[in-house]
Amino acid sequence: MDSDGTQDARGTHANPVPRPAGPPDRSAVPPMPSVAPGVPPLPDGSAFLAWVRAPRPEAAPGVWRFGHRPRPDEEPEEIPARQLLSGALIAFLVGWLLWSLLQNGYLGSWWILPLQLLAPDSWLYSDSRIGNALLYNGYTFLIALAIMVGVGRLGRWGEVWRRFVAPRFRRQQPQEAVPEPQDDPAQWNQLRAAGAADAAERLAAEARAGHMRDVDHARILRAWQGVRSGRHSLATFSSAVLEEGAAACLHPSGARDLPGRLAQHDLATGQVRLGTTVDDSRNPYAYRGAGLALGPDLLGTSLVAVGPAGSGKTGSVVRPIAESLCLHALAGRAAVVVVGAAGAGLGPADAYDVVVRVGNPESVYDLDLYGGTADPDEAAAVLAEALVGDLADPHPGGDSRRSTTVLAQLLGPYRAVHGRFPSVPELRQLLDGAPGPLGALRKALQDAGQEALIRELDARERQLGHPGDVGTVLADRVALLDRPAFAGFFDTSGRSRPFSLKALDHPVRVRVDLPERGHADASRILARLVLAQFTASTAVREDRSLFACLVLDDATGVVTPEAVRGIQRLRSAHAGVVLTLRTLDDVPRPLRGPLLGATGCRMALSGLTPWDGQDFAEVWGKEWIEARDVTDRQIIAETPAGKALHMLRRVITGHAPTARAVTVRQVERERWSASELAHGVPPGHAVLSLTNVKGEHAPPLLVNLRR
């Protein structure tokens, strides 16, 4: 062993290993590897280029456009296979019989007459055996060909060939050729046309080398849209691309993709694939067999999904949508807030920028109870909706203005004195009317000379203890948040890192875990709080080119009159919400119709109850269809021959001879009845209607969520 720890070339045995007499053979030494052992080879970019060049034709709302092949709107009339094949066989037998009769002379020789009339006598009575053979055999071939063409048309042989024979001889489709440079999306021609040829060439080289992903492509396109709209300069964009290539214009988190993907995404169209539209007669023909996908154009009208536990709401609907919106956020296109119970399977924590675990001491982020606003009236309105919004009159005109007034009478004076809003324990004491906190607050206002705020406090003290005072109800609801499990949360002193939905001006990814286990009522209050803050924040955003979406898994107790009004305003703010419910019974009866009317996308999953199905059937309405009434009438034979024939037919078929009468009429029926929704939707399926932000509709579609 040498001093450096390596073995000597002589070996470890007693007898030394003999050295070669001459120099070693260099040709026998293997070449040095180009990469370290175990490192996978770099991709060549072919997968990305195939993705970016794939056809994405325009399609109806909800159709998965990636590689889609459009179908006609109406189903072509197609003869059943059994009838088609039997007709072709019968036509062949008839043609064979006709040809046999002609050849054997049973039909006379009239079929030779055209040849005798048209052919010259020198041809007919020629001494040449070859000429006679050609003449008569050629004419016979023409007759046979005419018979074959006739019976082929009668037997639809052409359709038999197209449906059953030709597909077996089709060769595999050749790989799609590379488009011309002026039509190739991988060449970034829009940058070249604007004078950024160097940046376009750098991006094209990154794509060919396999260094670009679909998120990079979408993110750089989003940055280029900012250049075209004037938010960014062309020089800054070009320098960033030339310096960093496909990693230019990164998301603030520095991530270029999610830790893992479960759903199928296409960021070129912004869609996420949820399933396949079933090949069912109740679905329009153009949708049958096509992929079903959602994107911001559909989520911008909001989505409500109703189905019992285990029907696939979280795994088949919420998780793919949340994953898609997180990808859009990485591309700088969207801001997403996902709210659900802790451990609900809404994606790993690494897929989000902010994870608020309410009630978990290890949570890095806190939740701002007042939505990040400094206006006491705005904070009071949002907080009142969260605390007692479910107690307001459930009719669409109901509201919580009295609760808002009570909270504003306390929040305004407290902020004027302390420069912040009260914490949960302090707010509870003020609502309970404890003399100590109210007296201290009054004295501080008198010392500061805040006469207007003193009048607000006087009004609150006069209402204390009076019948109908909502302060007691508010105090009871605040007490649900004033628990030891939430002691470190909702801090207003600045010691924590509260998250506010005012951050929706940026492409942020947020997940809020609610403590439903043991704190169900508090979780509903927090869910209403997030929804109220979301609708209030999206309405005042400056940059509405960024799509904002709130995904609320299990919206039980969240739908209130103010929430419905807020959802109705989201479409104009380029925002939307996704709500899931186990049953519509979790929504007050007067609000079910307004909720389904305020959302453009409605989904009924398998296992729905008939009374829930009735609400969906009403909102989907009726349609005119063509109904066929078939009547079988027994045929009575009057002659002995007819009676014998009928008896023979009954012996052969086992049925009496009948005549069928078909009556066709236009009738109006429900698109999906309550009974069909309750009992006709297979497990793993859903019925989904869609409306995009342009107002285009898709009728209720039966979708397989497992494919």
Q: How far apart are CA 550 and CA 552, in angstroms?
A: 6
| Domain end residue (candidates: 120, 155, 190) | 155
Q: How far apart are CA 614 and CA 608, in angstroms?
A: 10
Instruction: Show the tokens assigned to 454.
Output: 């003193």
Minimum mean pLDDT among 139-143, 459-463, 696-700: which range? 139-143
| Domain end residue (candidates: 100, 133, 155) | 155
Contacts of 697 (CB under 8 A, 6+ apart): 61, 689, 690, 691
CB-based contact 602:304 (threshold 8 Å) = yes
Q: Which sign does the torsion angle of CA 350, 354, 360, 361 carry?
A: positive
CB-based contact 646:696 (threshold 8 Å) = no
Task: Indicate the helix (H) or strand (E) that contains 265.
Answer: strand 264-266
Domain tally, the chain: 3
- The answer on pLDDT for 140 being more than 50 is yes
Asked if residue 648 belongs to a domain, the reply is yes
Give the pLDDT score at 478: 94
Q: How far apart are CA 703 and CA 69, in angstroms?
A: 18
Digit-coded pLDDT (tens) for 548-604: 999 999 999 999 999 999 999 999 999 999 999 999 999 999 999 999 999 999 999
Q: How far apart are CA 369 and CA 383, in angstroms?
A: 7
| Domain end residue (candidates: 155, 185, 204) | 155
Asked if residue 195 belongs to a domain, the reply is no
Asked if residue 649 belongs to a domain, the reply is yes
Question: For the chain, how many helices (H) and strands (E)?
Answer: 26, 16
Mean pLDDT of all residues in the chain? 86
Asked if residue 472 belongs to a domain, the reply is yes
- Which one has a higher pLDDT value, 399 or 260? 260
Distance set, CA 34 to CA 25, 38, 330, 545 (Å): 22, 12, 34, 46
Task: Indicate the helix (H) or strand (E) that contains 704.
Answer: strand 697-704
Q: How far apart are CA 307 and CA 705, in angstroms?
A: 13
Nearest one of 571, 600, 418 to 493, comparing CA atoms: 418
Provide mean pLDDT across the span 502-523: 91
Please provide the distance, in angstroms rounded to a whole number, between the alpha carbons at the two ends of the chain.
63
Asked if residue 8 belongs to a domain, the reply is no
Q: How far apart are CA 559 and CA 592, in angstroms?
A: 9
Instruction: Show the tokens assigned to 231.
Output: 């938010």
Asked if residue 600 belongs to a domain, the reply is no
Give the pLDDT score at 21: 42
Task: Indicate the helix (H) or strand (E) that contains 601.
Answer: strand 601-605
Q: What angle do CA 56, 58, 59 make, to 5 degrees?
A: 110
Instruction: Show the tokens assigned to 114.
Output: 């055209």
Give the pLDDT score at 9: 36
Digit-coded pLDDT (tens) for 643-655: 788 787 776 666 7
Asked if residue 582 belongs to a domain, the reply is no
- The answer on pLDDT for 11 being more than 50 is no
**Most confident segment among 294-308, 357-371, 635-649, 668-682:** 294-308
- The answer on pLDDT for 12 being more than 70 is no
pLDDT band at 7; cut points 50, 70, 90: very low
The answer to pTM > 0.75 is yes
Task: Indicate the helix (H) or strand (E) that contains 648.
Answer: helix 640-653
Give the pLDDT score at 173: 52
Q: How far apart are CA 650 and CA 97, in angstroms?
A: 29
Give the pLDDT score at 372: 87
Q: How far apart are CA 268 and CA 287, in angstroms?
A: 21
Maximum CA pair distance of the chain?
Answer: 139
What is the extent of the structural domain holding 661?
624-667
Q: How far apart are CA 562 and CA 190, in angstroms?
A: 45
Digit-coded pLDDT (tens) for 46-58: 889 999 999 999 9
Q: How far apart are CA 13 and CA 671, in angstroms?
A: 89
Q: How far apart are CA 704 and CA 681, in angstroms?
A: 10
Asked if residue 334 belongs to a domain, the reply is no
Digit-coded pLDDT (tens) for 59-99: 999 999 998 999 887 777 777 888 888 888 888 898 898 88
Helix axes 234-244, 214-229, angle to 10 degrees: 160
Rg, Å, the chain Cα set: 38
Q: What is the DSSP string of 122-171?
A: HHHT-S-HHHHHHHHHHHHHHHHHHHHHHHHHHHTHHHHIIIIIHHHHPP
Strand-strand pairing, 685-691 and 601-605? antiparallel
